[in-house]
Each structure stands twice: as C-alpha cells, then as structure tokens.
Structure 1
Amino acid sequence: MKQLHYVIQTLLHSKGSNLLKVVSLGLGLTMSILLFARVAFEQSYDTCFPDTDRLYQVWSQFTVKGEKLDWQQQNCGPVAGGILESFPEQVESATCTSRWMASSPLYYGNTRFNETKIAADSLFFRTMGIEVLSGNPVKDLQQPNIVYLSETLAEKMFGGENPIGKVVSYNHERDLTVRGTYADLPDNTTVKADAVISLPPSWAAEVANYSWRGGDSYLQYIRLKPGVDAETLNSRLGAMVDKYRPEEDKKFGYTAKIAPLRDTYRGYDSVSRSKVILLVMGFSILFIAALNYALISISSLSRRAKAVGVQKCNGASSAGIFGMFLAETTLIIGLSLVVMVFLLFAFQDFVEDTAATRLANLFTGNRLWVPVGTVVLLFLIGGVLPGQLFARIPVTQVFRRYTEGKKGWKRPLLFVQFAGVAFICGVMWMVAAQYSYVMNKDMGFSPARVAVTSWIGINKEVGDQVKAQFLNMPYVEAMTYSGTSTPVDGYSGTMVNNEAGQPLFSSRYDAWPEDYANVMGMTLLEGRMPRTGGEVLVNETLAKMMHWGDKVVGRQLNDGSNNTVVGLLKDFQIGGFYLEPMPFIAYYMYYPYGIFAFKLKEPFGDNLLKLQQALADAFPGRTVDVYSLEAKVADLYNPVRVLRNAMMVAALVMFLVMLMGLLGYTADEVQRRSKEIAIRKVNGAEATGILELLGRDILWVAVPAVVVGVCASAYVNGLWMDIFSARVSTGWAVYVLVAIVNLLVILGCVLWRTWHIANENPVLSLKSE
C-alpha cells in the first residue's frame, strides 16, 4: 500500500506530464486497436461455419486460344452437383447458390424488407453447416417458391407469431411460403443471408441458364469428408468437367477447382493489400505511442533521480523501484483505456465507417485478444524499458546533481517517432490523391445527374408506357434505357469468334437504343448507333484486339452469328478504375425495358425524389428503386474513401502523439540545459543563436528519420497502387514536400517551446549557484 501511495503521489506531482501521457496513449490505443480489430475481423471471414477446414468454394477457369483466363467464383449451374455425383467417397455435400436470383426485396403485406437474400438448392444448410431451427430444408428446398428465414428476420416480420406457413411476396412478382427458420449468420461471411429462397435445379433450368453451356453466374460450395486431400480431388476435376460438357462447347477450355472458403475474402487483392497497410499503420501508431511514453518518462530522469535515490535510502530495492514504475504505467494505461472507450462511443459513427462494420463486431468474445494483446505490447514497450532505467539509478544520486542527458535512449526514440509520422503522412497523401483522382477522372461516360432504375423483365407495353409518360416530365432532361446493366455495375460476357467460328476472347455486351451514347455522355468516334438487328457498335479495345486497324465500320463480327459493325465507340470504363478497359459490344434494342436512365434537371436531389414518387404512383404494383448513378460511382471507391479517412485520422493521431512527446522532450531538455544556455548568454550569445543550437540538435535526428519514413511510404504506396488501372501521377517532388512539411512542423514545435528560455534573463537560471 505504501508503494501505491508513492505512485499516486508521483502522478499527482507531475499532472501536466502525465496528462500528456494519458492523452497520447489514449489516442494511440484507440487508433491502433481499431485498425488491428478491423484486420482481425476481415481475416476471420467465413470461419463461423462448423469444421471450416472441410468447407470449400468452387472456382471456374476458361481457356481461350490457349490463354487461361483468371479463376472466377461464378460457375456453370451443374458443377457442384457434378462433383458430388462423381466423387461420393470424397465429397460429403455440395450446394449451388445464386445472388442475382434473390436480389429483389421481400414484402409481408405492404412492409418491405431489404435484408440480404440468397437462392440455394436443398443441400445448402447441410453443406454450410448452418443450424436449422425449424423445418426440413433437404425436403422443402426441392420445391420452388419456398423460403427459409433467419431467426432475426422471422421475428422482425411476424413478431412472436409462428412463421411456418406464412406467405411473403418476392418483389410483388411471386409468393413464397415460409417453411423453416435458421440461426443468424454473422456479418463477416461471404455467404451472408437473412433469407434463403429455394433454387431447385429443374426450376432454375426453366427460368435461367442452368446448364454446362455457359450461364456461369452461380456461387457453389462443397463440404469434403474428413481426411480428404483437396489437391488430389482438384487433379481429377478437369476430367470430370470434360465428361459432362457438350462436344460442341469444347472449342474453348473450361475447368474447375476447389479452394478453402475461409481464404476467399481475405484472398481478394484489395483486402490483402489493405491488410498490409492497416497493420503497418497500426503498429506504427502503437510503437510511436509506446515510445512517446517511454521518451517522456526517460526525459524526466533528471527531475526524478533524486526522489528515486531517497526511496532507495529508505530501503527500496531496484526491484521495488521497477515495480513502482510498472504500477505507475498500469494506472496511466488504465486511464488511457477510459479515454479510448470514450472516443469509441463518442465517435461511433466515424469508427464504424472506418472499420467498415459495427463496433460490436470488432470486440466480440473471440476477438477480445486484439485489445488485450495491444495493451500488453504497449505495457512491455512503454513500461519495462524506462522502468529498468529508473531501477538502475544509484542511491548516490541523493548527494549530487543528475545531469546526464541520456541521449543514447532519447534520440533513437525520437528517430522512430519522426520516421513513423513521415511514413503515415506519405501514405495518407497518396491514398487521398488517388481517391480524388479516380473520383474526378473522365470515365468515358457522364454519371452526373443520371438517375437509374431497373425494370428488367417488363413487356413492350409497359416499357412504352414508361417512356411515353416520363420522357416529357418537366424535371426530366432526357431519357434512355439499356438491356441489362450500366457501366458502373458491369456487364455479362459473350464469346467473340474468328471467321472459322473459333473463340478469340470474351467481350462485355449490352443492348442500347439509338440515343443511349448521347444521353450517357459517351463519344462516338466513327459511324452510327445500331438501328436494327444484326448491327453492332464496338469500342476501341475490341477493335484493337481484332486487329482491324483504321477501318472498323463495315467489318463483320462473329459472336455465334454474323453482325455488321456500324459504329466505333470511344473506350469507357466498366466497373471503375480497378480494371483495364474491356472489349464491348452494343446490340440494337428493340423496345424500352431493362435499365431506365433519366438525365434530370437541377436540383438533382429534389427531382430524384419526384421521379421516385411519380414512378411508384404510376406503377403501384411494382418495386420502384431509383438511385443516383454518381452515387453508385462513389460506392465503387468506398473502400478507398474509408482507407483515406483512416489514414487521415492516423496521421493526425501520430502527429499529436509525436508533438506531445517532442514537447515533453524539449521541456526536459531545456530544463536540463538551462544553466548552459544562461552561461552562453552571459558570454554574449544571442537568442537566435540559442534557438539555432537547440533546433540543430533536433534536426540531426529529424532529417534522416523523415527521409527513411518518406522512402518507406513510397514503397508501400507502390504496392497499394497496383490494384488500380488508372493511377495518379507521382513524383519525388511530392515526397520532398511531405518531408519538408514534417521537418518544418518539428522545427516549429521545438522553437516555440524553447523561445521563452532563449529570451529569459540568465540570472534566473544562475541565481541558485
């Protein structure tokens, strides 16, 4: 108790210094734990299923002209079933699912439910290992128009009523009967679904392409039996696929493989690259916060040495002094955790946006090791290192002044802090610049003031009614439509063949009316838009891949039938600047249906709401969702925006932590050298000379540290930028500017803190001599 009393008195005696410690550690802990928790959350994707090591996802790969395309998650419908049928000794269960066949909302009465859904066959629950609370899905999901609800969605829809037998509507198009419920799935799974709609293979074959002949849009999973080697099974899948494929389709290659489901999400290029950046950023903040604490503590040695000597005179051992310092560190970290909890809840919306998930998901029971491990690491770095220095102070310090600068400890700690801040600032600049670049770069079309709504599946009568009724609305500047999608969402593909009918490559495609390119702000380089069947429009990339040279219009394009090229379109970006420009074909569109695009007048937001309401009033039996195409573009780069925000906050936190440490170091350094400075002034030194002396002392550490940090940021930036097809131009001039700004801030902080002592009357420092 006596030692605890001494610790508390020591903390109260140095309130200003300890406040710096608490705030800097609180900021550092908040940001580092948040970043580590986000990485842990993302790396735990798809580990919620039982026996996850036996759960695999099916992947497909096409080969065209001997060139193997990238592996893709979308498969032909029968692949998973074929694997189960062909390898019953190795495969326990297999399932086929579809997202696009369950993409519309559910209705119970007039209440709409936008929860995530999936269409799946009868073995879905058995394959995934999801707990079924009621019903017999193996039997029920063999029938069409059956739905299973998650426990939470069933409660939300029906309250305390029994959901079994209830009828809900899918997009006001067909009724679904609830036959069962299942346990909720967590957010960190790629198979997230609050409702599972039946997908019997026979029914799927009637309403979609569920065959070995294309239609590769199904996500499929298999569960292996215990002890089965996945690579051995993979070596046999090529022969299995060939057994089922029609001979006429073997002009291009197609094979399949299985890979662990738990590796799917964390294997995405953007996720793996962001993980590296977030971990480096998290450890940088943690180490800087810990070293900053150690720096402030070590800088106070000259003031606290005599007190330690007195305690040793009263019988305190080195181990006792060490334990007292660790107790002091524990109390300060405890107060810092209080600051962290306050910040997390006070800025919860921002925290959840930065973490890309709910706060509760980050700190569940199986991820509590993240904050605990972070605190332990902080304790070891920030507590043990300076604690040993304090414990080594000899008892003789009671009888003499303690004047040793301890720069052997201080300067390396400052070096790490300066380098870390320069690194984060360099990465922050690149992320912010790239986000601004992709958001403002010309995409080859104009999403500004374009409102889009999906009406796929309507007949000509309804399509003509929409066009006639809304084209002349006072807030509609222009209107057009496309068959299946928009440039932002991406398109399906079709094979382009040579004259002999042999496949050359896969091209994206859609159907457009004659005014589509004009309304969407696209550039027609040559020719005209298609006006009838058999005519097509192609883009520059397709023309280059066909080696057509300068003469494009009038060429024949074989996609299984012969088409005449009537126009050449300037390349436009499909799916954002994550991908290189892709070949594209536009066919003639016979009547209005599919995706309607409205070019609205200003004010766009108000007119968007008017359009939404007018469509809903005109077609009360339909689900009408109108969204801004510009907002969809922003959604494409939302991960970049989130990373940018995280980097900006991290840079701010590191700057604050570094400045707090620098202020504490400078204050103690000025106090330690106050008599030296006074003697210099007595001997004629000017204030500017004193400031130059102290500033030069810091710059010897800051300059090489900032250079190292900026160079490290340039390397990491290069790794991250590889995920983009369009990159902001960079040069060393920007990094030099980042380095100069960092050095100016550091130097300004030192000069501001030492201005008073440089201009102080030297008598005040020497009067005790």
Structure 2
Amino acid sequence: MIRNYIKIALRNLRKNPVYSFINIFGLASGLACFILILIFVQHELSYDRFHKNSDQLYRVIQRRPDSKGADHWAATSPALASTLKKELSEVTSATSVFPTFNPLISLGDKRFTEEGILADTNFLKIFTFPFLQGDAATALESPNSIVLTASFARKIFGEQNPIGQTLTYQNQQPHIVTGIMADVPETSHLAFSYILPALSDQYYRDCITREPWYNNGLYTYVVLASGVDTHRVEEKMRAYIDRNLADWRPEDRMAFLFQPLRDIHLKSQHLKTFPFEKGGSQRYVYLFLAIGFIVLLLACANYTNIAVARSIQRAQEVGVRKVAGARRWQLMRQFLGESVIMTLLALLLALAMVHLLLPSFSQLMERPIHIDYLSNPMLLPALLTLVVLVSLISGSYPALLMSRLKPVTILKGKNTVPASRFTLQRVLTVGQYAVSIALLAGSFIIYRQMQFVQHKELGYDREHILTIKVSDANLSQRYSTIRETLLHDPHVVAMSYSLYLPTDVITSQSMSGWEGSDGKLLPTQTTGIDYDFLDVYGIPLVAGRGFSRQFGTDTLGAPIALINESVAKALGWTPKEAIGKEFNYSDGRGQRRIVGVVKDFHFNSIHQPLGLLVLTLDQGPSGYISAKIRSENLQETIAKFERVIRNVTPYPFDYQFIDDNFNKLYKNDIRLGELFTSFTLLAVLIASLGLFGLAAYSTQQRMKEIGIRKVLGASIPGIVRLLSKDYIKLVLVGFIIAVPLAWYFMNRWLENFAYRVDLDWWIFALAGIFALMIALLTVAFQSLKAAWMNPTKSLRAE
C-alpha cells in the first residue's frame, strides 16, 4: 500500500503541475528562510561554549558611580583580578586581559597590523584555546615572549618553524615566539591573532603600581567554584570595598557584577567598553527566530489552503477507496504521506536555495556562517524533525477532512466537502495577509526611521571630512608639521586633531567643585581636541570663545575647557554665566576654567538623547586627524595625505570619511531594515502564491456559473468584480488585524531611539493599499481569463 500511496502522490504531482509548483515552491521558500535563520541562531547561541568548564567562567563588570549607577562597564581595574583571587574563596582562578591598542608587529621589513591582546600568565590556564606548539602553562611567563595563532604564524613565517623567532612590537620591543595556538574559533567573543604578556606593556605596569583601583582599562575573568551563587559573591565583594576602600564616599564606590561567559556575546549591549569583537544582540536573535517561524507558518498555511481547495477533485477517489474497504486511518496515512513527500521535495529545493543564498546572508550578518552536515551533529536530526513538523502542520487538516467524507454522498455526485472548509480558507488567507501587511508597515517605518537618522541635523558638518586614525605616537608628535604641509594644498580646507571623533565620544569623567556644587558630582563625556576642531566640524559657539593659538595661555594640556549647552543647563547657568566658571575634573589634573560654550551636537548615536560634554585642549599619542577637503580631485587629495603620512610612520594609512563612521553607529538597524524588507517580500510572495492557487482553483470550480452569467448578459468587468470581491474583503479584514499589531511592535522598536519618526496613519494605509494591489493583481489574471472565455466551452459538458 505504501508503494501505491507513493505512486498516486507522484501521479497527482504530474497531473497538476501548477498547483504542485505553487505548493513546493511556497514550502521551499518558507523552509529556506527558516533554515537560514536557524543556522544563524545556532551560531549566535554557540559563542564561548568550547572552553572547558565554560559554565563556570565569568567576566567581571562594574557599575560605575560616576554615572549614578546607571551605566555598566566591562573594563575594570588592574587590582581586581588579584583581589578577587585573594579575598573570595569562591574564585578558583582569575586573569586580566586587554586589547593591544595601535598594534604593529614587524619581522624585518615586513609589518603587520593584526589585532592582539595582552594577558597575564593565568590567561591560557583559564581559557582552553588548543596549543599546537609550545607549553600553554609557561608560554607567557617571560615579558618578552609572544604566542601566535596558526594562521598569523603562517602569514609571517610561511612554512618555517616560528618557535624561537624574534618579532618586534610597535617598532620598539623584541618578543620571542614561545607558542603557536590553533586559530581562535569563530564563536569566541575574544578575537585576536597573538598574545603578549601583560607585564611587557608600560600602561599595565603603571596601572598596577599607581592607583590600581582608579585606572579602568582591563578585562577581568574568573573561574567560580561549581554551584556558587553569584549574588552572594557580589555581596562579599561589596563588603570588601566598604572595608578596604573607606576613603571613597558611598556614592563613589563601584559595584562589581559577574557576567556568565556564555552571555557575553548576546547580552553586552548595555556595557560601555572597547569591544574585542562584533557583539551580537539577544533581541535581534529572538526577533529573527520569530520572523522565521512566521514565514514558515505562512508557507504551511499556503499548502493547507490549496490542499483543501483541491479536495473536491479527489473526493471521488476517497469514495472509491472507502467502498473498497479503506479505513479512515489508512486514508489519513495516505494524505499525510503525500504531505511528507511534498515537504521532502520542498526541503531539497530549500537546501539548494540555502546554499545559493548563504554567502550573501553571511555577508549581510557579518558572520562566517556556513552549513556543514558532518561536523554539526544537530543539523540532520533538526532537518528531519522539521520535515515531520511541517508535514503534520500543513497536511493534518486536509487528511482529516478527506478521511471524513461519506462514500454514499460522494458517489451520488455530491462531491463537495463540508462548507466549513471555506471558513478555514478565509481564516488562513486573512492570517497570511494580516502578517504581510504588518511586515509591510514595519518595513516602511524602519525605512523612514533610517532616512530620519541619515538626514537629522546633528549639530556638526559631515560633508567631505576625511578622518585618519593615528596609531603611532611619532605621528602625533609631528602632527603640526604634517598639518602645515597639507594645508598648502588648495583642496585641503582645514585640519584638526582629536582623541575621539564626534560620532563616538566614550570617555567618561565627573565634574565637581563648581560654584554651588555642595559636594555633588556631574557625570559627563569628554574628549580632547585641538584649536581647529570646531572649525573643521562647523560646530558653533553660543558664548565665549574656542581654543585659539592667539592666546598664549591656550597650550596643550592647559587647565581650560569648553562645555556644551546641556552642561551649562545642568549646572543652572546660562551660556554667558558659565564663562569664567571653574570646576574640578575626575581626571586628577586639578581645576579647569570654562572659556566657551558650544552649541549642543550629537556625539553618540541618536539612540541616546543629547548628553553632557566637556572639551579639553589635549592631544594624546593616539587619536584621529580630521580634514575638511574639497570634493574636486578627491582621490588625488587622499593620495597626497597617504604620501605625507607614510613618510612619518610605519603604520598603515587607515582612513575613512566621517559619514562611514556615522553609518557604523546604525549598522545593526540598517541590517535589521534590510532583513526585514527581505522577509516582507518573501511573506508577500508566499501569500500571493497561495492566493493565486486559490483564485485559479475557485475560478475553475465556477466556470459553468461564469458561462451562464455571460449567456445572460453579464459584462467582463462585472464578472471580474464578482470573482475579486471576496478576496478584497479578506484583505480588508487582514488589514484591520494587522494595524494594531504593527503599531505595537514598531512602537516598541522606536523606543530604542531618543529621536524618532511618528507612527502616522498613512503608513499603515499605504501598507494596506500595497497589499490590496498585490492581491488584485494576483487574482486579476485568473478573473480576466475566466471572463474572456467562450461560455460554450464551459457549458458544453452538460
């Protein structure tokens, strides 16, 4: 019988190629979308699980008092790791690690700017990265050692044995290769090409000897004993701070929290830090998973809809089988088996689509996502489970419906199935279009918000500003000479040096000691700038003056400052009243005098409201050169910058336009918009395929009715209206359901932006009209085909 069922199923596929294609392609599209998302979700959830005892590994984060306890930082102090190991019995091991800023590795004339990390000797004992050569236990004991990843070692030495070879770090320090480790897995939140001993870094040595609790630039990881309650450990650490750091006022004391290693990748959006890697988002993972399920359910609804519509055609087959002795469970097995066959065919097509789309999807998600049937033991069982579930979801109702038919009624010629099937068809069609309209409205809103972001007045100029990352202290020291040389070029309008760009100021300091402060602290963001920063970015002053070379007191590091309007307002001053006022800053450099107030501008993304900003006259060994250049001869101007800068530093010429830095702030939102649009188009396509199949079948069943109407004088427009009005009603009901759903979820998404577009009524109306037009176009072909047909053809059979 099974062989007979398969033969009949294949025969039905060949007999109805249009419906078979619609069913298989619709299911395949839904499956392909779901599989792509499933692979992405599995990749995101697998981060940092390869380490031994990864469930006992934690990163220690701090809640900073200078932000009134509201902000959390992943960066911690150098004293923390040793203190945790010494004071808390629950901590079995601890390590400190931090990224290499301004990396440059040299071997003779060959130079490489790969990212690396600096770590203490416990790092390779806590993190179980596989070693290929050398001993992980001793590889970092010497301050002049270095451990390379396998790919970086091949990049430098080729096929030579790297152990014992000497490399130069930042053109100064020699380091001997003591170990080669396997490449860092793609699913590690720590991404690096080499490891240097922390003691080789002057910053680290300074931190552990001078005010080790105040310098926060390291990352602390610990191993906790099995079964330990992290909340109790946090309380014990808080008690230690109260006992041993009593000179800190209670409101100044930081608190330490323990973040599970497995949570770092997806649950670190609230942390302020210098990231090691491209962080993920738990919210987006769940959102994409939900969309994948929705698209898959739409495809299943599509299959059910058409299968129920085709049930009339197979009613006599069911009647004959029942007369011949077939039982109900046998008929259900037959139709469910056909559903399995359809789903298997759809799965094969879906896997082909996945392999075709995976490179583009991986590039869009910025993840090295791939599909491997052998190394991923969960993949094949998951696909088989998916086939069974989809077959049951899409085929259960048609199987149940067909098995209930009574052979006496069917064989008398009454081959219609119960009228309740029409209710199901309407419900499924309404559901499909409700989802499609909601997704369309969401796509429109995301697009509008991104356009709003791109064109919002930020308070500074973004046109034709070239930014160059400074990684070499020698380049910073010779900036004045470089500036004079390049300003002779008529295409270079102005140049400036700053510690950060205006798109992303991350350093936090607290103001205190101002007139009438009464011991209060005011958390602010800060960056060092030079004399020309305001001119390059077109930031206007509202009171006072900017930094100027014409004032002998305005020297680098001078105790003067500019504040923005928000700081003046927070301190209760007008911009004019703020001029000449003094305050202390938590950077430990004493009092500063306010010489000017700048107009508020956005120095972070517009996800956040305008913040408090202090600008100081400082130039560090690393930072950014910003140059406003003319649009003419752009490539020649950039080439000249490269020639001049390459004469000063061995570091690569690393440049971007400020617009590129600005767009990075909204990369996740832009990616969401692109994916949302793709999913929306797919959902609309699936819904349209289902509607096309239904319209075609419904029209076929009403051919005699249409023929009679034409004989009685019905016009072609009248027949088209007759066949289309039911579908218009279904789309309108879907619109009524979709509007509140879309409004709720998009309003929740827009809450992430401090500045946002309004949810105007016309956006939802436009989505509804768009869906209605697609529905009308979908059924129009079948309606016109039926209306134009000669009525004698449809009436000839009787």
- TM above 0.5, yes or no, is yes
Structure 2 counterpart of 1:441, which letter? K
Provide, for residues 458-488 of structure 1, a one-character-per-residue CA deviation record: whole Å limited to 9, x for no partner.
3775223322222223542321111x21122
Partner-residue secondary structure (3-state), 1:485 = coil
CA apart distance, 1:166: 2.1
Q: What pairs up with 1:359-378 in 2 under 5 angstroms?
A: 359-360=369-370, 365=376, 368=379, 371-378=383-390
The residue number in structure 2 matching 1:485 is 500
The residue number in structure 2 matching 1:702 is 731
The alignment status of 1:177 with 2:144, answered yes or no, reads no
User: Alpha carbons of 1:247 and 1:74: their partners in 2 closer, same or farther (altered >3 Å)?
Assistant: same
Partner-residue secondary structure (3-state), 1:200 = helix
The alignment status of 1:416 with 2:428, answered yes or no, reads no
Select which of 417, 429, 451 maps to 2:444: 429
The residue number in structure 2 matching 1:80 is 81
The residue number in structure 2 matching 1:447 is 462
The residue number in structure 1 matching 2:241 is 241
Q: Is the 8 A contact 2:336 2:392 kept in 1?
A: no
For the residues of structure 1 that align with 2:525 and 2:569, how far apart are their CA atoms? 15
For the residues of structure 1 that align with 2:355 and 2:677, how far apart are their CA atoms? 19
Structure 1 counterpart of 2:735, which letter? V
The alignment status of 1:278 with 2:295, answered yes or no, reads no
Structure 2 counterpart of 1:479, which letter? M
Q: What pairs up with 1:92-111 in 2 under 5 angstroms?
A: 92-99=92-99, 101-102=100-101, 104-111=103-110
For the residues of structure 2 that align with 1:146 and 1:723, how far apart are their CA atoms? 45
Structure 2 counterpart of 1:81, which letter? S
User: Alpha carbons of 1:154 and 1:388: their partners in 2 closer, same or farther (altered >3 Å)?
Assistant: farther
Q: Is the 8 A contact 1:277 1:716 kept in 2?
A: no
RMSD between aligned residues: 2.8
User: Alpha carbons of 1:374 and 1:490: their partners in 2 closer, same or farther (altered >3 Å)?
Assistant: farther
Gaps of 5+ in 1: none
User: Alpha carbons of 1:107 and 1:260: their partners in 2 closer, same or farther (altered >3 Å)?
Assistant: same
Partner-residue secondary structure (3-state), 1:258 = strand
The residue number in structure 2 matching 1:58 is 60
For the residues of structure 1 that align with 2:739 and 2:452, how far apart are their CA atoms? 21
Q: Is the 8 A contact 1:252 1:503 kept in 2?
A: no
For the residues of structure 1 that align with 2:371 and 2:206, how far apart are their CA atoms? 38
Partner-residue secondary structure (3-state), 2:459 = coil
More divergent stretch after superposition (587-596 vs 467-476): 587-596
Q: Is the 8 A contact 2:241 2:253 kept in 1?
A: no
The residue number in structure 2 matching 1:514 is 531
Partner-residue secondary structure (3-state), 2:625 = strand
For the residues of structure 2 that align with 1:30 and 1:691, how far apart are their CA atoms? 35
Structure 1 counterpart of 2:152, which letter? L
The residue number in structure 1 matching 2:510 is 495
The alignment status of 1:388 with 2:414, answered yes or no, reads no
The residue number in structure 1 matching 2:681 is 652
Q: Is the 8 A contact 1:125 1:131 kept in 2?
A: no
User: Alpha carbons of 1:623 and 1:748: their partners in 2 closer, same or farther (altered >3 Å)?
Assistant: closer
For the residues of structure 2 that align with 1:147 and 1:225, how far apart are their CA atoms? 30
Select which of 317, 329, 335 maps to 1:325: 335
Q: What pairs up with 1:296-311 in 2 under 5 angstroms?
A: 296-311=306-321
For the residues of structure 1 that align with 2:143 and 2:242, how far apart are their CA atoms? 30
CA apart distance, 1:233: 0.9
User: Alpha carbons of 1:359 and 1:308: their partners in 2 closer, same or farther (altered >3 Å)?
Assistant: farther
User: Alpha carbons of 1:756 and 1:655: their partners in 2 closer, same or farther (altered >3 Å)?
Assistant: same
For the residues of structure 2 that align with 1:541 and 1:389, how far apart are their CA atoms? 68
Q: Is the 8 A contact 2:743 2:759 kept in 1?
A: no
Structure 2 counterpart of 1:147, which letter? I
User: Alpha carbons of 1:136 and 1:520: their partners in 2 closer, same or farther (altered >3 Å)?
Assistant: same
Structure 1 counterpart of 2:267, which letter? G
CA apart distance, 1:361: 6.7
Q: Is the 8 A contact 2:58 2:221 kept in 1?
A: yes
Provide, for residues 159-200 of structure 1, a one-character-per-residue CA deviation record: whole Å limited to 9, x for no partner.
333222222333434333221122333223322333222213
For the residues of structure 1 that align with 2:641 and 2:22, how far apart are their CA atoms? 53
Q: What pairs up with 1:616-695 in 2 under 5 angstroms?
A: 617-619=646-648, 621-695=650-724
CA apart distance, 1:54: 0.7
Matched residue pairs, number?
765
Provide, for residues 330-384 of structure 1, a one-character-per-residue CA deviation record: whole Å limited to 9, x for no partner.
3333332333233333334421133331231797616526555544432221223
Q: Is the 8 A contact 2:494 2:532 kept in 1?
A: no
User: Alpha carbons of 1:558 and 1:43: their partners in 2 closer, same or farther (altered >3 Å)?
Assistant: same
The alignment status of 1:28 with 2:30, answered yes or no, reads yes
Gaps of 5+ in 2: 270-279, 549-553
For the residues of structure 1 that align with 2:388 and 2:106, how far apart are their CA atoms? 50
Structure 1 counterpart of 2:578, which letter? V
User: Alpha carbons of 1:232 and 1:652: their partners in 2 closer, same or farther (altered >3 Å)?
Assistant: same
Q: Is the 8 A contact 1:481 1:592 kept in 2?
A: no
CA apart distance, 1:292: 0.4
User: Alpha carbons of 1:360 and 1:348: their partners in 2 closer, same or farther (altered >3 Å)?
Assistant: closer
The residue number in structure 1 matching 2:48 is 46
The alignment status of 1:187 with 2:186, answered yes or no, reads yes
User: Alpha carbons of 1:114 and 1:575: their partners in 2 closer, same or farther (altered >3 Å)?
Assistant: farther
Structure 1 counterpart of 2:370, which letter? A
For the residues of structure 2 that align with 1:370 and 1:638, how far apart are their CA atoms? 31
The alignment status of 1:539 with 2:564, answered yes or no, reads yes
User: Alpha carbons of 1:171 and 1:401: their partners in 2 closer, same or farther (altered >3 Å)?
Assistant: farther
Structure 2 counterpart of 1:266, which letter? L
Provide, for residues 273-331 of structure 1, a one-character-per-residue CA deviation record: whole Å limited to 9, x for no partner.
32342122111101001110111111111222223334445555444433333333333
Partner-residue secondary structure (3-state), 2:573 = coil
Provide, for residues 507-526 of structure 1, a one-character-per-residue CA deviation record: whole Å limited to 9, x for no partner.
22222222211111222222
For the residues of structure 2 that align with 1:354 and 1:388, how far apart are their CA atoms? 42
CA apart distance, 1:587: 1.5
For the residues of structure 1 that align with 2:496 and 2:118, how far apart are their CA atoms? 31
Q: Is the 8 A contact 2:65 2:251 kept in 1?
A: no
More divergent stretch after superposition (533-542 vs 113-122): 113-122
CA apart distance, 1:112: 4.8
The residue number in structure 2 matching 1:597 is 626
Provide, for residues 670-697 of structure 1, a one-character-per-residue CA deviation record: whole Å limited to 9, x for no partner.
1222223333444444333333333222
Provide, for residues 635-663 of structure 1, a one-character-per-residue CA deviation record: whole Å limited to 9, x for no partner.
22111121111111111111111111001
Select which of 415, 419, 425 maps to 1:402: 415
For the residues of structure 1 that align with 2:343 and 2:107, how far apart are their CA atoms? 51
The alignment status of 1:554 with 2:584, answered yes or no, reads no
Partner-residue secondary structure (3-state), 2:768 = helix
Partner-residue secondary structure (3-state), 2:687 = helix
User: Alpha carbons of 1:613 and 1:549: their partners in 2 closer, same or farther (altered >3 Å)?
Assistant: closer
Q: Is the 8 A contact 2:564 2:612 kept in 1?
A: yes
Moved over 6 A (4+): 590-593
More divergent stretch after superposition (660-669 vs 750-759): 750-759
Q: Is the 8 A contact 1:121 1:200 kept in 2?
A: yes
Partner-residue secondary structure (3-state), 1:247 = coil
User: Alpha carbons of 1:175 and 1:243: their partners in 2 closer, same or farther (altered >3 Å)?
Assistant: farther
More divergent stretch after superposition (288-297 vs 248-257): 248-257
Structure 2 counterpart of 1:395, which letter? P
For the residues of structure 1 that align with 2:740 and 2:543, how far apart are their CA atoms? 47
The alignment status of 1:69 with 2:80, answered yes or no, reads no
Q: What TM-score, normalized by structure 2, do the two folds share?
A: 0.89
